[in-house]
A = this chain, B = another copy of it.
Amino acid sequence: MACSNCDFSEIQDVILGVEDVSIVSQILKRRQQVPKGEGLFRIGQPFHAAYAVKSGTFMSYLLLEDGEEQVLAFHLPGELIGIDAIKEKRYSYSARALEAGSICELYFNDLAKLGKSYADAQNSLIRVMGGEISQAQRQSLLAARQAADERIAAFLLNLSDRFNRRDFCSINLRLAMSRQQIASYLGIAVETVSRSLKRFQSVGLLDVSGKQIEFLDRPGLESIARISPSTD
């Protein structure tokens, strides 16, 4: 049941410290494998659980009127998916796995069930949610850059930072998402993603090989992204 490398361990520790095992099992469901492409939930469904990503990469998305898939966010290990549905009691987007991974289901659908005795768990949840808001804010910042190069540089740095936070290697990155999904997420054309990456490669900022990315000149990327290195 060890779960040290995600924000959620904070909550889990609290929950697991509780004597009443039946309640624990009501809230926390053990790690589950999720095969590539499988959905966690779909837009409009009643909220029944939030998902803590243990491994793999997930994405949340909408289907636009014309049938196009609009990517809203990518979710990495240690991050939380779907908790915002707690407000409206329905998921406001769909989510699925981009690659095989695993998640823990967290049944926070009925907070009352947690009862007053779980104040510590709630505090933890509040802190985790604060982090999720920050993350969403940063994401909206990505797409607000006007030049495509800026967006892509900022996107890669953001991904890298988020991986880094969980002790993954910070100079090598394996993108789980397709170029198309990156393009949708950043609001640019696939071809532009391709060309930007190529440009970064040709000026020695990156080494790109398919989904494998190596950072060669981080400060250079940061100045393109117009992010001060200490923006954390």
Which of B73, B83, B117, B140 sits near A130, CB closer than 8 Å?
B83
Interchain CB contact under 8 A, A144 and B226: no
Q: Given A119-B122, A123-B111, A226-B66, A87 and B143 touching (CB < 8 A)? A: no
Q: Size range of the interface on A?
A: 35 or more
Whether A144 and B141, one on each chain, are in contact in the complex, defined by CB atoms closer than 8 angstroms, is no
Asked if A122 meets B130 with Cβ closer than 8 Å, knowing A146-B187, A146-B188, A185-B144, the reply is no
A184 at the interface (CB under 8 A from B): yes
A128, A131, A136, A226: most-surrounded residue (chain B CB, <10 A): A136
* Best-surrounded residue of A133, A136, A228 (most CB of chain B within 10 A): A133
Which residues of B sit under 8 angstroms from A83, Cβ to Cβ?
130, 133
Check if A126 sits within 8 Å of B130, measured CB to CB.
no
Contacts of A136 in B (CB 8 A): 133, 136-137, 139-140
Contact with B along A61-74 (1 / 0, CB 8 A): 01011101011110
Q: Check A127/B87 contact, CB under 8 A, given A140-B73, A140-B139, A143-B144.
A: yes
Given contacts A65-B228, A119-B122, 17 further A-B contacts (CB under 8 A): A62-B141, A66-B226, A72-B144, A83-B133, A84-B131, A84-B132, A87-B127, A87-B134, A92-B137, A92-B138, A111-B126, A116-B119, A116-B120, A117-B119, A126-B129, A133-B133, A140-B143
Which A residues are closer than 8 A to B by beta carbons?
60, 62, 64-66, 68, 70-73, 83-88, 92-93, 108, 111-112, 114-120, 122-123, 125-134, 136-146, 184-189, 223, 226-228, 231
Selected A-B contacts with CB under 8 Å, 8 pairs: A62-B231, A65-B223, A66-B226, A68-B226, A71-B144, A87-B128, A116-B116, A119-B122
